[in-house]
Structure 1
């Protein structure tokens, strides 16, 4: 009888330990879900459309609260929201993650260039907003790749948007790229015009058949900080390679 009592006590202790572990796991998952939904969501950069601001292999946190919340702030867009709650409009120059309007599910990241009511046009590679050329200063060259993957030196400029936000852009094809001369775009109310900093290698609002104007409701959040960065083509899980594959200088740098 004494042995039976000991066995039952051990069994209860074991069951209690399993239940406590399950509770801790569930609580951790709930906390992670709340943080991801309402505060910060991690994203990685798979393309070079925002070079040199963001590089392939950058991992960053996006603040979900910056623009308020829409259905796309929640996993799988399941929340029954119409428009945005606690809305705060993006500023020109913000780098924002949004759901592609064509399918409302694919995540894109670009820079906010045009606000509701603005006109936007590219003329010989120079961005024009509301009929005025945006200030652009040549600052040298940037080492990149051409359309065939060959290493090349491409022109780099410092562009200063109306309002004062300054950032670096590159022109892989000079000022004669496919999207370097466009008609005048008129941004509709409640929409935004998004562009990449790698002007000749970015599918953005200039391509109305692929992206076009982005509704306010489709904005997911604002890019805030790079928390990890690894060389293009390197594997993040190979921690023994980190000393020479991690871009240490980019860690914990703000996104501007």
Structure 2
């Protein structure tokens, strides 16, 4: 049997998801980064101050920096989670209305959400190259929200560099870490867009050119599906 690219059944959710990367980028660069820059400026000013109270204020501001970074990691994780849940709910309502997948997409268990993705898109979330980084982000979000527990133990194994200072119990993340997480989310949505474009039955020449450009750039494409596999139909 002839091989063909992996496809899934397209829906309106794929179109809406095109805007998710821009939202994430703008939130990081226009909200989080400026706030952290202001904190770093205050820390620098206090470090150079000759005032007697400056060392105490400096210590407080360093705590503010740590807490702001941790809160920002939770905000990024929450935004990613809302995007994925919204996407899956829209897929379920169009592709399998009344099916349990719609309930799974709203379930508190993240594993249920991943199961819903596999059911609706016929490819596991773990197949995407960004999945390991997104797993780290989900664990970090849980730690930021709830503190120690199973998520912290799992995250410590994956990212011991977040706890280089044994005297600090909360994970120490940086703006670069946040940028890495945002880049992973954006990569996921761009990979999902690649599948969407590949799944279009009638492709405009611009779509064909874009797919060729992504292949030439070494972008990820899912493993091919054998002809005859049920990919849910095209549009």
Normalised by the shorter chain, which TM-score bucket?
under 0.3
Larger strand proportion, structure 1 or 2?
Answer: 1
Larger helix proportion, structure 1 or 2?
Answer: 2
Q: What's the TM-score once normalised by structure 1's chain length?
A: 0.22
Q: What's the TM-score once normalised by structure 2's chain length?
A: 0.24
- Whose relative contact order is higher, 1 or 2, with alpha carbons under 8 Å and at least 6 apart? 2
